[in-house]
Amino acid sequence: MTLLNLTGRVCKTFGEGCLKETKTVQKIKESQARDVVTKLDLRLHTVSAEFIADCLPACKLLSEESELSGNELKKFLTGECLIVDPLDGSSNYALGIPTYGYMAAHIKAGYFSGVVVVLPEFDQYIVYEKNKSLYAKTLPTGNDWELAPVYYAYPPRLDESGRHSRMKLMNLIDDCSAGLYRYGSACVGLYRLLCGEHMAFIGQSLRIWDAIAFLPLLSELGFDVRYSCKGLNISVFASRSSSFLDDAAQILNENQGVKLSRYLQGEAVRFENT
């Protein structure tokens, strides 16, 4: 499994990341305190680039820390690329909160070739290749997901229609679940959904690297997965409750004109407007 090599490199880097200097904030994106870049972000970006150079020379890197113009995006997403969020939860990491993770999706001509997720807080990694997953630790079982809260992820800035969707989605979550959770890492929210600790994951208007790696993992475990990819943006809704997702998807469609497609394991991802 080629991606085990990447997993080992990332785990090693996280092990070294306990050094205080890696928590240093290098920059704040667009004056948003929620969106920072630490030295560990940059180190994990470099680790990803070095892995590609060593093991996947024909592959392109699309990372949160990359600079990519809109004209280049179609070439990336219709060819072979590794889509990486080096450190999802950078602000948590900088503050000493252990809720963060690494995500990478290896995609060829729109199809998932593999996925890597590393979650230091849980001593967990997930490697997905050849339509099968390898977990460092067995997922916990027995949680009553129907009584669990919903994890809701959305970006710092939303336009008027996005804010209206947010209000409606928050009302739906209050009406249909044990409440709303946010803890600054979509990666951890998605993992806890896999573990039965959330009733649903609602990811509204995220960046593509924030969630795409979990699509095949969720589908493999029988979740209803809905998504929309437009350029570098992605919305991902997932749950075992299709009726809840029907209502949530309707809100997004009515307020923002975003129609979510179902993702089934083995299918190509639909990239729009690339």
Q: What does the H/E/C string look like for 109-152? A: CCEEEEEEEEEHHHCEEEEEECCEEEECCCCCCCCCHHHCCEEE
CB proximity list for 147: less than 8 A, separation 6 or greater: 178, 199
State the Cα–Cα distance between residues 125 and 149, nearest whole angstrom. 24
Whether residue 184 contacts residue 92, with contact meaning beta carbons closer than 8 Å, is answered with yes
State the Cα–Cα distance between residues 126 and 124, nearest whole angstrom. 7
pLDDT band at residue 18 using 50, 70 and 90 as cut-offs: low
pLDDT for res 249: 98
Q: How far is C-alpha 178 from the geometric centre of its chain's CA atoms? A: 23
Fold of 145-272: D-Maltodextrin-Binding Protein; domain 2 (3.40.190)
State the Cα–Cα distance between residues 31 and 232, nearest whole angstrom. 20
- Sheet with 80-88: list strands edge to edge: 60-63, 80-88, 101-108, 111-119, 124-129, 132-135
pLDDT for res 68: 61
Q: Per-residue pLDDT for 24 more than 70?
A: no
CB proximity list for 269: less than 8 A, separation 6 or greater: 107, 110, 111, 112, 212, 215, 227, 229, 263
What's the pLDDT tens digit per position in 98-150?
999 999 999 999 999 999 999 999 999 999 998 899 999 999 877 899 999 99
The whole-chain average pLDDT of the chain stands at 90
pTM reported for the whole predicted model: 0.93
Cβ burial 207-242 (10 Å sphere, 16+ → b, else e): bbbbbbbbbbbbbbeebbbbbbbeebbbbbbbbbbe
Query: The domain at 2-135 falls in which architecture?
Result: 2-Layer Sandwich (3.30)
In a 10 Å sphere around its CB, with 0-12 CB exposed, 13-18 middle and 19+ buried, how is residue 247 labelled? middle
Minimum mean pLDDT among 21-30, 125-134, 241-250: which range?
A: 21-30
Percent of the chain with pLDDT over 70: 89
CB proximity list for 170: less than 8 A, separation 6 or greater: 152, 180
Minimum mean pLDDT among 32-41, 198-207, 211-220, 261-270: which range?
A: 32-41
State the Cα–Cα distance between residues 98 and 123, nearest whole angstrom. 11
What is the pLDDT averaged over residues 4-23?
Answer: 83
Question: Sign of the CA dihedral 198, 14, 23, 48?
Answer: negative
Residue 140 has which token pair?
């916990």
Whether residue 14 contacts residue 120, with contact meaning beta carbons closer than 8 Å, is answered with yes
Instruction: Determine phi and psi for 167, rounding to 5 degrees.
Output: -60, -45
Q: Domain coordinates of the chain in residue numbers? A: 2-135, 145-272
What's the pLDDT tens digit per position in 160-180?
999 999 999 999 999 999 999
Strand partners, 151: 181, 201
Minimum mean pLDDT among 74-88, 128-142, 184-198, 243-257: which range?
A: 74-88
